[in-house]
Structure 1
Amino acid sequence: MDATTREAMRSALRGPVITPEGAEYDEARSVYNAMIDRRPAAIVRCADAGDVMDAVDFVRDHGLELAVRGGGHSGPGLCLVDDGVTLDLSPIRGVRVDPVARTAQVGGGCTLGDLDHAGHAFGLATPTGIMSTTGLGGLTLGGGHGHLTRKYGLTIDSLLSADVVLADGGFVTVSETEFPDLFWALRGGGGNFGAVTSLTYRLHPVHSVGVGITVWPVDHTREVLRWYRDFLPQASEDLNGFFAVLAVPPGPPFPEDLHGHRMCAVVWCWTGDLALLDETLAVVNDAGRPAFHFTTPMPYPALQGMFDGLIPKGMQWYWRGAFFDRITDGAADVHLKYGENLPTDLSTMHLYPVDGAAARVGHDDTAWSHRDAVWSGVVGGIDPDPDNAGLIKQWCVDYWEELQPHSMGGSYVNFIGEDEGQERVRSTYRDHYDRLAAVKRTYDPRNLFHANQNIEPKP
């Protein structure tokens, strides 16, 4: 992008255009994953939907590469393109809650924390992810799962409408009755179809929740997983619990003698009667005596922010995901093997339940194609030291490859690494891929929005 083009872009847009010679550039191009080091020709901090429309027109008409950034949490850094233009939606960050209708309209640059805070004042929430710093737009477009999934479904199951800037620069509001083909595709199809400047969600009654953290020595992994796989799917949908292998963090509520020890764990969220929290979680002893068990009532936004300080922006990250309809004994062996050999203290594996309310949505109702999955797993190699990037990546790849024979073949699209190839995208969408490709042809026939886990337009 030459100087004349840069100045033309600045003249055309309301929000600031940040380029490599500017003092803000390095901060503006930084994302959650410090392993990503891309240098866009320009980062446009879009002031509003009109700015996004003008920016899309400018990028398209000048033949430039385009990426869209919401919260910047994309593991493979798909919100940045070298020598192209990133549309940064972070200034579009308002939240409006209607407590009577139980809805919330949020800007495309909002994070989970923005929505959680606004809804909490009214005792309301939407099921999203597990870290408050995650961008709502990217999480939602991929499907979205977290602490409330068994109770209220995926994030897309509470999505009522969205405002979208299309590849031709046009603006549409999509819902079940307006542009229903595009609305279907947005619910799980990722950022393939346009830049989403606003989302409207259904809210659910959630204020304070019961939180539990149970950890067992890592050599109990097989026994704990056998108990967990039988217990949780038949438990009340008020109870959510994701399984993890981890190193115990050095701080409260964990006792000092456990800090740094390799463990297996379940992190619980209880949306039922808080007086029944301890009684409900007494069953953890059926898996073997825990090394540590902690329960407390907690405001829902506090649970959502509980891991923010543990894994802040700026870590080295490499992750891969997979769906599972069961936890086999062979998979339990793999989790034990790699849980005993975590390469760094922050590296981990999570199994998120996606059954309950999420499983009752019809297979063809949204682009999410794994309504028959019971768990969505992710292996994450994490460390602050760039010198350990190769180590954590290799551990993650080896772990993931040994799990593949026990998986369903696809992955939550937000857990796919950049280097996994087009077949991984196809296997994630399964029989929905061709339908998504047809929607892509309708709304983005030249594949302007391709900085994502790309769905190519149907020929």
Structure 2
Amino acid sequence: MVRLLSFTAGCLVLLHALVAGSPLHTELPRYFQANPLTRRNLMVNTVENELGPHLSKGSLIFGSSNAAYANLTSYWITYIQPDFEVIVEVAAESDISKVVRYCSDNSIDFLVRNRGHGITSSLNSFKGLQISMDKLQGLQIDAASQTVLLQGGVYAGPVIADLWDNGWVTSTGAAYCVGLVGLSLGGGHGRLEGLHGLVADGIVHFNLVLANGNEIGVNATSNADLFWALKGAGHNFGVVTSYRAKIYPKSTQTWHYHSYVWTGDKLEAVFEALNDLHTKDNGTTPVLMSFETGIIAIDLSISDTEPVLSWSFAYNGPAADAEALLEPFNAIGAASENVQDVPYPDIALLQGTGEQNGTCSDGPYIHSTDLLIKYNVTAQRQLYNQFVQKITQYPDLKFSARYAHEGYSNKAVQAIPSDSTAYPHRESNIIVYFLAAAAPGSSDQAPAKTWAQEARALWIGNDKPQTYVNYASGNSYESLQSVYGYEPWRLNRLRGLKAKYDPHNRFRYYEPIISN
């Protein structure tokens, strides 16, 4: 016993020497350092003093008193309100690992924000430090390898314009205001997926910071298991500081745009034609008929009691080829039409998904969503009748409520094996969602939520619900299986990778695989 006590005392003396910085060792290794308790109330001055000297010139640390705070904490759906006590706006990609390591060492919860388009309520559970990537806008084209290196703060509009001016295109989302990193981590639907797959499918390398602050490269040969996970469930595993993606020579100078407005009596004809379009090419959508999008909503120029169907089509090529495919829609008879041919960077503005369009404006939106393989025409009529009934019952929702539809060309998406990435819904290329503006606490909030759930139930019918992770609401009726796939092996594999790469579950705020 005496010998054991002597040995223990000797160890304590040695440890004290390490802590004190004796000649035996000048710094306590990180794996011996104690993690302090989570800081309940972060102070800007404390973070500035402790972290600030280690960051690049131009990085900023501030709180709610700074004029930039409101812009860097706003979200597209204003119901999403994480509690950001301190913001660190990094000026260099290398700063992110330093911030993450600092947070990890001090048990500070952190959340990365790019453009604020996350719409899942799970974000509301966050309180802590924000890492803003707004300043990381780097874009480097490598023509020899036909790839582009994109930093974590980039978003679709400027990337599309820059590449187009240099003779290239790459896969992005349809909305030009949305950040590319967050989109890609959930798969990423967009106008070029019929030719090149989802946004994630075109990524060949991720630069990633893990929860402990370590920087790693992730690709098909390095951390290949994590490469699989980042493509569809990536929000759960790390901070992507930049990624390298495939680029393609632009194949046409103009895209063809054709929009229609149909009255409600044409609904069945429209959705039957849409179903035919999406199976026209051996069961898939013609690859160049890139994107059809439509809303069912009130248009006062036609009626103030019955919604209309406003639809548009984007074709990656000549007008004559597009119009041959659109002939069934031309035959339906529209109340109004608009036809244009424009360069690719301009197509989003026409289709309502440009930076200047209402799609990119924030608001108190309540929503629900599902993924479809085809439109159920009977359900679409029920939804239309539901719309008429609801706005009669709740007139304050008349001008903000809408059913929205996105249909993508899907050939290249379906050509990629389903088990090759974490994204689980490759067979479904139609996204539907309900939106209505209802301010928190208003009398419209409860009926809007009820309407959202009822609309989703009609879309789903007897099928298993499928939730596109980038459109997920985080509501209790969205199961993890609906988001990450019903095959048991998918969630099992993701949870195993979570234990390996993020054992303390630091990344748990966006549709978390494992909740604390």
Q: Same fold (TM over 0.5)?
A: yes
Is 1:433–2:474 an aligned residue pair? no
Paired residue type of 1:365: S
Equivalent residues of 1:334, 1:399 under 8 A apart: no
- Point out the more displaced range, 303-312 or 396-405: 303-312
Give the superposition deviation at 1:426.
Answer: 5.5
Percent identity of equivalent pairs: 22
Letter of the 2:500 counterpart:
T
Given residue 273 of structure 1, which amino acid in structure 2 is its aligned partner? P
SS in 2 for 1:320: strand
SS at match of 2:218: strand
Match in the other structure for 2:312: 267
Q: Which runs of 5+ in 1 are unaligned?
A: 251-255
Residue equivalent to 2:10: none
Deviates more, 1:109-118 or 1:396-405: 396-405
Instruction: Give the whole-Å Cα distance in 2 for the aligned partners of 1:122 and 1:274.
Output: 24
TM-superposed deviation, 1:311:
3.0
Contact residue 169 and residue 249 of structure 2 kept, 8 A: yes
Query: Secondary structure at 1:451's aligned position in 2?
Result: coil
Give the counterpart letter for 1:310 in structure 2. Answer: G
Aligned residue among 31, 38, 49 for 2:75: 31
State yes or no: 1:368 paired with 2:423: yes
Matches within 5 A, 1:107-122: 107-122=151-166
- Confirm or deny: 8 A CA contact 2:288 2:409 kept in the other structure: no
Contact persistence 1:150–1:237 (CA under 8 A): yes
- Secondary structure of residue in 2 paired with 1:41: strand
What SS does the corresponding residue of 2:511 show, helix, strand or coil? Answer: coil
Pick the aligned partner of 1:327 from 372, 375, 400: 375
* Structure 2: stretches of 5+ with no match in the other structure: 1-40, 392-396
| Partner Cα distance (1:143, 1:448) in 2 | 21
Higher Rg: 2
CA distance in 2, matches of 1:99, 1:82: 41
2:451 corresponds to which of 395, 419, 427: 395
SS in 1 for 2:183: helix
Separation in 1, partners of 2:422, 2:126: 29
State the alpha-carbon separation in 2 of the partners of residues 129 and 294 from structure 1.
Answer: 23
Correspondence for 1:285? 330
441-450 vs 315-324, greater mean Cα deviation: 315-324
| Counterpart contact for 1:32–1:73, Cα < 8 Å | yes
Cα contact 1:145–1:354 (8 A) shared by 2:
no
Distance apart, 1:402 and its partner CA: 2.4
Which of 451, 454, 457 does residue 512 from structure 2 map onto? 454
Please tell me the residue identity of whatever aligns with 2:51.
M
Q: Give the stretch that moved more between structures: 7-16 or 294-303.
A: 7-16
In 2: Cα distance, 1:102 partner to 1:259 partner: 51
Residue 6 (structure 1) aligned with residue 51 (structure 2): no
Q: Deviations over 1:181-229 (max 9, x none)?
A: 1111111113111000102111234453111212211232223112211
- Superposed CA RMSD in Å reads 2.8
TM-score (norm 2): 0.80
Match of 1:45 in 2: 89
Say if 2:479 is the partner of 1:443.
Answer: no
Distance change >3 Å, CA 241–CA 221, structure 1 → 2 = farther
**SS of the counterpart of 1:233?**
coil
Alignment-mate amino acid for residue 266 of structure 2: H
Q: Which amino acid aligns with 2:406?
A: L
Q: Cα distance, 1:414 vs. partner?
A: 1.0
TM-score by length of 1: 0.89
SS in 2 for 1:359: helix
Report how far residue 58 of structure 1 moved: 1.3
User: Could you tell me how far 1:454 is from its partner in structure 2?
Assistant: 0.7
| Residue of structure 2 equivalent to 1:253 | none
Contact 1:355 1:374 in 2 (8 A): yes
List aligned pairs for 1:42-441, cutoff 5 A.
Answer: 42-76=86-120, 82-206=126-250, 207-235=253-281, 236-247=286-297, 262-286=307-331, 288-306=332-350, 307=352, 308=355, 309-340=357-388, 343-346=397-400, 347-353=402-408, 355-382=410-437, 387=442, 388-420=444-476, 423-425=479-481, 427-431=483-487, 432-441=490-499
Change (3 A) 1:12 1:260: farther
For the residue of structure 2 that corresponds to 1:47, the secondary structure is coil
Deviation of the 1:354 alpha carbon: 5.8
